Amino acid sequence: MIDRLAILGATGDLSARFLLPALAALRAAGHVGDSLRVTGASREDWDTERYRGWAAARLDRHAGDLPAGAREAVAAAVRYRRADVTDPADVAAVVAGEGPVAVYLALPPALFPAVITALHAAGLPAGSRIVLEKPFGEDLAGAQELNRLLAELLPERAVFRVDHFLAMTTVQNVLGSRLANRVLEPIWNSTHISEVDIVWDETLALEGRAGYYDQVGALKDMIQNHLLQLLCLVAMEPPITLGERDLRNRKVDVLRSVRPLTEHDVVHRTRRARYLPGRIGERDVPAYAEEEGVDPERRTETFAEVELELTSWRWAGTRFRLRSGKALGEDRKEVAVHFRPVPHLPFGRGEEARPNVLRFELEPEGLTLDLTGIGAHAHGLAPFSMTARMDPQELPAYGRLLLDVLNGDPALSIRGDEAEEAWRVLEPVLAGWERGLVPLEEYPAGSQGPPPQFWG
């Protein structure tokens, strides 16, 4: 296990809300101890004492459920250096020390090329690792250039392109339920499954993230990475093992099998929209274009939907809908697998059985199977559901990711070719939207989003 971690961008929201609490969770669970040395670097003119006070306050706010001793140990262990993370001399001072170091780029993705170039000039000790947050590049060309820079710095196995969705137990359960239950895998194909909805709808609006979100929008923020990863887990062929090579090979196969979207497909199988003023619960939400930090001329979408088809033996004829929206009336975060209806009902009363739906509920975690059976009246059909709730996972998603980084296990990180394939899937959508082929619809905050569209 590597015992040195450097966080570039250590005063940002990612560090405050996720990385520091993840370290405290690892400490509380006994996965790391006093030997782990953490250096935080950012442009603020702080010293270590001030940073430790800042870290302690954020840990109390975002990790208050963890033991006080674990929070205090993390806050007391971190050191701080003021640095320009694009300057090789400053970066060299941050990563200096004995033994390999894991360098976490908790930074805006636009800075990645300059920071990686600085790391290359500064030099990293043998055995070091680098961690990048999504999105990996801003388009296919950007992802290819980023991969080229990374390949000059470290071997691929030492590069961790992390997507915290993959470290969520309920997300992994999509694959686990398929492969550990004989009743599911034989029917996990287009013969029995008509469509799959992969949805991340949330009531949250911008919540102060305009500086980042207005640069990317819903398509790049959610669908291009998180939801395509879920697609991979739903649609992949059973891997021989869950090791990094077998698992990631099968995910790349799924992305390569996505039928390229034509201009006609972009017009008729993709949607984009942004929210208008509205009310969500007890709070009034301004229109997206009026949120602080938003440039209305960018026409950034807060709702995106894409329908994909896979050209494979298993999935020919099944539709996959990927959807994500902000400032909606309710949270809906799930993978819903819709099975085809039964071919014949013997009841003779003109009734229809609803198609079965298996729902992997992502937040809160749960599993629901919608079935049809005999209701209160003889021979009358009625819907019912079987529901299971999961125990909370031992470690938060970022805790699992950091542990994998420190242990050198890249199975749940995104390989370079996979990152490029994910961009290749959505390149036609980005191009079509840039040309205005798809109108930017609008929906009131607190609603269900733009009116449903039924694609032929």
Asked if residue 338 lies in contact with residue 359, where contact means CB atoms within 8 angstroms, the answer is no
Note if 379 is an active site residue: no
| 268 burial via Cβ count (<10 Å: 0-12, 13-18, 19+) | middle
DSSP state of 219: I
Query: What three-state secondary structure class fits 371?
Result: strand
In this structure, what is the dihedral angle of CA atoms 57, 58, 64, 67, given to the nearest 10 degrees?
-80
In this structure, what is the dihedral angle of CA atoms 273, 274, 276, 278, given to the nearest 10 degrees?
100
> Are β-strands 365-374 and 357-362 bridged in parallel, bridged antiparallel, or unpaired?
antiparallel
Beta carbons within 10 angstroms of residue 281's beta carbon: 9
DSSP state of 259: P
Among the options 164, 226, 268, 379, which is catalytic?
226
CA–CA gap between residue 244 and residue 190 (Å, rounded): 27
CA-closest candidate to residue 410, choices 253, 252, 247, 254: 247
Active site positions, annotated: 226
